[in-house]
A and B are shown apart, each in its own frame.
Chain A
Amino acid sequence: MDFPENLPSDVGRLEQIVSHFFPKALHIVLNSRIPSLQSRGRTRERCLSSSSGAGLNNNNVRKSDKWFNLVMGDRPAALEKLHSWHRNILDSMIIDIILVHPTTTIPTDDDLHDDDGSVVRSAETVIERWVVQYENPLIMSPQSSDSVTRYQKVYKKSIIMLRSLYAQTRLLPAYRVSRQLSSSLASSGFDLVYKVSSFSDIFSGPVTETMKEFRFAPVEVPPGRLCASVTYRSDLSDFNLDTHITLPPRIITDYVGSPATDPMRFFPSPGKSIEGTSFIGRAGRPPLTGSSAERPHSWTSGFHRPPAQFPTPNQSFSPAHSHQFSPGLHDFHWSRTDAFGDSHQLSPPFSPSGSPSTPRYISGSNSPRINVRPGTAPVTIPSSATFNRYVSSNFSEPSRKPLPPFSPKSTRRSPSSQDSLPGIALYRSSRSGESPSGLMNQYPAQKLSKDSKYDSGRFSGLLSSSGSPRFGFSRSPSRLSSQDDLDDPDCSCPFDFDDVDESGLQYSQSLDRRKASSSISQSLPIGRKSSQDAAVGVLVHMLKTAPPLRQDSSTYMASMSGVQKEGSVSVSVSGTESEFSMARSTSDALEELRNYKQLKDLLLSKSKSGSGATRVH
């Protein structure tokens, strides 16, 4: 065993163990508790460790630091003085760790009062008391083993004891306090100080009751034994350290935008739990981003606009799937909506009942709608007869596009177009569970392109020439009139939107797509099925397979190219065997694409003009 010093006398060596034990224990305790001593000690240790390179060797460690095979680094001057003070090993060493903390007291006449009349003082509370002492028995027990062996055993046990004392200092609550104070930036009014004495002040009653004690197993060091114990407060929450201590700022590497800054992820309101539920249901989906090729969930169905279109700085959904609904964002959201002229509202398709929690500003509408920014109006689902007319008209116009309208500019209002609203029909059917007709795939963007008055999104071109479905667009009186023209009194679709308001079109795209995928698989002959459900189903399917209304050209073009690759207008990508879809040609698809694009550009320009520049970021 490598002892720092070899003394001829066994008693002398044992006494040396004891005499070095005290400063070592003191060093361990104060190094882990007092911030000022910590920094110095740790800096020194870092220098040592960096300079040692391969590891610890005897050359870079001071002799005094090798005691008990525990390298602590240089002792601060304060500790050196303490060591020199503690000469008599029979004297106990009591280390009090005292927490200096602010406390409010009842002011006296001599005190300076705060505004609220209370006086803030600094108080000191002993949170830990370490006691190290060498108990010398009155009667000396006979020593059986030889001195060397005994010395080795004593030294080994004292090493173990100090190891456990070292580990214990890291486990007690005061260690966290010390770390917090070490890393705090500003003066918090808290501090840890120490007091070393050879006698103890009796704890006050309440203090001792809250304190626990841990006794280290004593080490027999003939003729006495080394003892160490610690009495500590197990609960330091009374001091409210966390609220007072300012920690240095930390960089959050995985930060995701908050709802306040990313309104696209957020849909109000706090009291509208149904919307929250619906949103949450969708929040688990992949995030809505400008570059995402898949359609966003229902909140933004039909408005797959890039962030620039909305008056929000960050319109992409964060991958974190935030489920937060804060009133602040709600206010912001709707204020921006107001900037649009109160025409842009989003409501969850899952809450079609128009619950009071629905964050919709639909005026005069009792039926649930899905608003699409900027400004589309509810549509009504055409009847089958209407669909038949649409089909025939579509056939007569080879330039028609089979896809649901996308471009706002391409919205047309042509009586001959016989436009239906496949998107809305899709929605309707999805909600009603009706099966669509394959005919609905035919309702093209070309219809939209023919009607430039319609500046709303996907369904603008779907204005039925027959009067139904009605399709409302925001901020366009002409649309309103056209919708009136297109009203089909025969249409008894439950999804009729009787009111066309400026709030825009509401629909649930994602929901529609899901349900349409299940319903669109049914292939219905053109003109043969008089069921309204079939027509609705076709619309649903068209909506489902229509590309998102995004400014992201890559996404848009990808979706469009996907459509074009079909070789037919049909959006029956899921393999619908509609004879109607097969009859379409690529040119029709291209024409429809152009119409959609025009419609989209129109809508985007409208949104830009009406956005106002209220950006969160």
Chain B
Amino acid sequence: MNCEVCQLKELEVESFEIREVLRCILHTIVFHRALGLIRPKDIDLELFEITYVQCGEIEVEKKIDEKVDQFISWIEKHPNKKSQICLSFYEVKSKQPSWFTNKIERLYWEQWYINLNVLQPTKAPVGKSHHSKLVMDPGEASEERSSRRTLLEQSLQEVLFQIIKFVNEKKDHVPPINDGVIYCPFEITIPSSSDSAFGMDMFKRILHSGHPSMLG
């Protein structure tokens, strides 16, 4: 089974917008992969005029919120960085045990990369006179903020359209729906504090498919 990868369009967000944007994107993706019996929940964003859909599962909500919080904490420690959150859907496969591999294995069949560029709050421009700065800055800052907000709203809508388009176009790789399973198991990978996020990610994967004694 091949692993389909979707790179979502990069979004420029401010720190206070991260939560809403991430929850919107993550829930939209998971909604399309929650193929069990669900009652969808419409959620209106507060910062944007966008309504997205949640699958309505509390576990999903908790998991996503937890990861978003972790990401926000990471962003606070690593400002001004382009970051990537990876949402991976996997299948848990049991393999024949051997001295190399373990019984349980995760097979990733789809990965979504959410690209964020977290902006820092803009400061007053230097060089203006004192009075004019005081007069113009509030107006200019609010205009700039509103235009940036409008652009972000459009970009976020484009990302949601992108998700729907990808979900529609690629359906064959989605594993069959198991009885009693509401949503496809997934994991969210956020950048780690170490520079080598890739290395940490690989280490995690090895842990999951590693020696039986390493598993909890």
Checking B32, B134, B169, B177 against A281 with a beta-carbon cut-off of 8 angstroms, the contacting residue is B134
Residues of B within 8 A of A164 (CB): 32, 164, 167-168
- By a CB distance below 8 angstroms, the chain B residues around A281 are 130-131, 134
Q: How many residues of B contact A (CB 8 A)?
A: 37
| A277: nearest chain-B partner, CB-CB | B131
Which chain A residues numbered 238 to 290 have a C-beta less than 8 Å away from chain B? 273-274, 276-278, 280-281, 284
Query: What residues on B are CB-neighbors of A2 within 8 Å?
Result: 37, 179
Contact A71 B135 (CB under 8 A): no
Q: Is B5 part of the contact surface with A, judged by Cβ < 8 Å?
A: no
Most buried by B among A45, A168, A273: A168
Q: Residue-by-residue, is B127-140 near A (CB-CB < 8 Å gives 1, otherwise 0)?
A: 00011101100100
Cβ of A157 and Cβ of B171 under 8 Å apart? yes
Given A70-B38, A71-B38, A171-B160, answer yes or no on A160-B174 (Cβ-Cβ < 8 Å).
yes
Please measure, in the bound complex, the distance between the C-alpha atom of A385 and the C-alpha atom of B181, giving whole angstroms. 94
B70 within 8 A of A: no
Cβ of B49 within 8 Å of any chain A Cβ, yes or no, is yes
Min CB gap B44→A, angstroms? 8
- A556 vs B140: C-alpha distance in the bound complex, in angstroms? 39
CB distance from B75 to the nearest CB of A (A): 26
CA distance A323 to B168 in the complex (A): 51
Also in contact, A48 and B39, with CB within 8 A (given A171-B160, A217-B169): yes
**In the complex, A186 Cα to B40 Cα: how many Å?**
30
Using an 8 Å CB-CB cutoff, how does the interface string of B158-169 with A read, 1 for contact, 0 for none? 001101100111
Interface string of B107-136 (1 = CB under 8 A from A): 000000000000000000000001110110
Chain A residue numbers with a CB within 8 Å of B168 are 160-161, 164, 216-217
Check B134–A160 contact: CB distance below 8 A: no
**Neighbouring B residues of A613 by C-beta, 8 Å:** none
Task: Tell me which residues across on chain A come within 8 A of B36, comparing CB atoms.
Answer: 69
Q: Which residues of A contact B39 (CB under 8 A)?
A: 45, 48-49, 56, 71
Q: Complex formed: what's the CA distance from A470 to B171 in Å?
A: 89
Least Cβ–Cβ distance between A55 and chain B, in angstroms: 7
Query: Hey, which chain A residues are within 8 Å of B35, CB to CB?
Result: 69, 156, 159-160, 163
Which residues of the other chain, B, contact A66 by a CB distance below 8 angstroms? 37
Contact across chains for A55 and B58 when beta carbons are under 8 A apart = yes
**Bound form: Cα–Cα A105–B36 in Å:** 52
* CA–CA, A56 and B58, complex, Å: 11
Whether A56 contacts B42 in the complex (CB less than 8 A), given A157-B171, A164-B167, comes out as: no
A395 within 8 A of B: no
Is A163 a contact of B37 with CB atoms below 8 Å? Answer: no
B32 partner residues in chain A, CB cutoff 8 A: 160, 163-164, 167
Q: Which residues of B contact A280 (CB under 8 A)?
A: 134-135, 138
Distance from A77 Cβ to chain B, minimum over Cβ atoms (Å): 21
Contact B42 A156 (CB under 8 A): no
Tell me the nearest residue of chain B to A66, going by C-beta.
B37
Contact of B177 among A71, A152, A179, A217 (CB under 8 A): A152
Asked if A166 lies at the interface with its beta carbon under 8 angstroms from chain B, I say yes
Once bound together, how far apart are the Cα atoms of A588 and B36, in whole Å?
85
B89 within 8 Å of A (CB atoms): no
A56-B37 contact, Cβ under 8 Å, with A164-B168, A167-B31, A323-B138: yes
Q: Does A58 contact B (CB under 8 A)?
A: yes
Confirm or deny: A194 has a beta carbon within 8 angstroms of a beta carbon on chain B.
no
Distance between Cα atoms of A49 and B41 in the complex (Å): 10
Which residues of B from 52 to 84 have beta carbons under 8 Å from A? Answer: 52-53, 56-58
**Closest partner residue, chain B, to A171 (CB atom):** B160
A166, A167, A273, A277: residue with the most chain B Cβ atoms closer than 10 Å = A167
Known: A56-B39, A171-B157, A217-B168. A176 touches B49 (CB 8 A): yes
Nearest B residue (CB) for A164 = B164
Residues 202-227 of A contacting B (Cβ, < 8 Å): 214, 216-217, 219
In the assembled complex, the Cα of A153 lies from the Cα of B161 at a distance in Å of 24
**Residues of B1-59 whose CB lies within 8 A of A:** 28, 31-32, 35-40, 42, 49-53, 56-58
B residues in contact with A119, CB < 8 Å: none
| Chain A positions within 8 Å of B51 at CB level | 170-171, 175, 179
Q: Given A48-B39, A69-B37, A156-B171, verify A167-B53 contact (CB < 8 Å).
A: yes
B176 CB within 8 Å of chain A: yes
Q: Which residues of B contact A120 (CB under 8 A)?
A: none
| Distance from A481 Cβ to chain B, minimum over Cβ atoms (Å) | 40
Cβ of A61 within 8 Å of any chain B Cβ, yes or no, is yes
> Cβ of A1 < 8 Å from any Cβ of B?
yes
Q: How far is the CB of B154 from chain A (nearest CB, A)?
A: 11
Instruction: List the B side residues contacting A219 at CB < 8 Å.
Output: 171
Bound-complex Cα distance A94 to B168 (A): 21
Judging by beta carbons under 8 Å apart, are B176 and A170 in contact? no
In the complex the two chains form, what is the Cα distance from A49 to B58 in whole Å? 13
The chain B residue with its CB closest to the CB of A71 is B39
In the complex, what distance in Å separates the CA atom of A238 from the CA atom of B82? Answer: 39
Q: Are B37 and A58 in contact (CB under 8 A)?
A: yes
Chain B residues whose CB sits within 8 angstroms of the CB of A55 once the complex forms:
57-58
Q: A153 to B50, Cβ gap below 8 A? A: no
User: Shortest Cβ distance from A580 into chain B, in angstroms?
Assistant: 35
- Chain A residues, Cβ within 8 Å of B53: 166-167, 170
A278 to B130, CA, bound (A): 10
A323 to B161, CA, bound (A): 40
Contact A69 B38 (CB under 8 A): yes
Note all chain B residues with C-beta closer than 8 A to A49.
39
> Would you call B167 and A70 a contact (CB within 8 A)?
no
Interface residues of A in 124-176 (CB under 8 A from B): 152-153, 156-157, 159-161, 163-164, 166-168, 170-171, 175-176
| Minimum CB–CB distance for A173 against chain B, Å | 10
Bound CA span A219–B35, Å: 16
Bound-complex Cα distance A138 to B38 (A):
36
Chain B residues positioned under 8 Å from A216 (CB to CB): 168
Residues from chain A with a CB closer than 8 A to the CB of B157 are 171
Residue ID in chain A nearest B35 by CB atoms: A159
- Interchain CA distance A176-B49 in the complex, whole Å: 8
Residues in A neighbouring B49, C-beta threshold 8 A: 176
Are A170's CB and B52's CB within 8 A?
Answer: yes
* Residue among B52, B57, B135, B179 making CB contact with A167, cutoff 8 Å: B52
Q: A156-B174, A156-B177 are in contact. List 6 more A-B contacts (CB 8 A).
A: A48-B39, A69-B37, A69-B38, A161-B168, A219-B171, A274-B131
28 contacting pairs across A/B (C-beta < 8 A): A1-B176, A2-B179, A48-B39, A56-B38, A66-B37, A69-B36, A69-B177, A71-B37, A71-B40, A156-B176, A157-B171, A159-B35, A159-B177, A160-B174, A164-B164, A164-B168, A166-B53, A167-B32, A167-B53, A167-B160, A167-B164, A170-B51, A171-B51, A171-B157, A216-B168, A277-B134, A278-B131, A281-B130
Which 5 A-B pairs rank lowest in CB-CB distance, beginning with the nearest?
A217-B168, A277-B131, A71-B39, A170-B51, A280-B134
